[in-house]
Structures are given as C-alpha cells and as structure tokens.
C-alpha cells in the first residue's frame, strides 16, 4: 500500500488571514452588530444596495448550492 503523504508537517498558525488587525485578544468583543431576521436581512440588502458574496471550494458545490439570482463564476 502506498503512503498518502511522504512527509507531513502540521503547524499551528497564529492567524490564517492577514487582515491587519491585531491578535484576537485585542479585539473589542462588545463592538458587534445585531442579529437580523431573514426579512430584515433582505430589506437591508435592498436598502443599502449590498452584495452578498458566497464562496465555495469547488465548482460543483456552486452548481448545487447558491443564492437566488447569484452570479456563479469560476
């Protein structure tokens, strides 16, 4: 039987995304938004002319699951 990985290293990452924000301990946990119901979300999307961006890892996933009126591109 062949090995799946010839050499495997697992490293702990402090941050996955380079967002320019300090470490998580320094974020203000009280400075958050509020939960919207589905109706409120749809109204906010129209009022503020927002675009909702959903990402999938593989093309077949976007063919199966996507938002209504979504523009699927690869």
3-state SS class at 64: helix
Task: Calculate mean pLDDT across residues 16-25.
Answer: 67
Q: State residue 3's pLDDT score.
A: 72
User: 25-62: per-residue pLDDT in tens?
Assistant: 555 666 678 899 999 988 998 999 888 777 766 777 77
Whether the Cβ atoms of residue 45 and residue 52 lie closer than 8 Å to each other? yes
Question: Residues, the chain, total?
Answer: 74
pTM, entire model = 0.41
pLDDT(24) > 90: no
Domain ranges for the chain:
35-74
Cα–Cα distance between 50 and 42 in angstroms, integer? Answer: 10
Q: Which band of pLDDT confidence, cut at 50, 70 and 90, is reported for residue 21?
A: low
Provide CB contacts within 8 A for 74, sequence distance 6+: 59, 62
């Amino acid at each position: 039987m062949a090995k799946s990985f010839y050499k495997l290293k697992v490293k702990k990452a402090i941050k996955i995304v380079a967002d320019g924000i300090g470490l998580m301990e320094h974020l203000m946990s009280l400075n958050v938004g509020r939960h919207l119901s589905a109706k409120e979300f749809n109204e906010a999307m129209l009022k503020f002319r927002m675009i909702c961006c959903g990402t999938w890892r593989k093309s077949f996933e976007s063919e199966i699951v996507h938002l209504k009126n979504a523009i699927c591109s690869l």
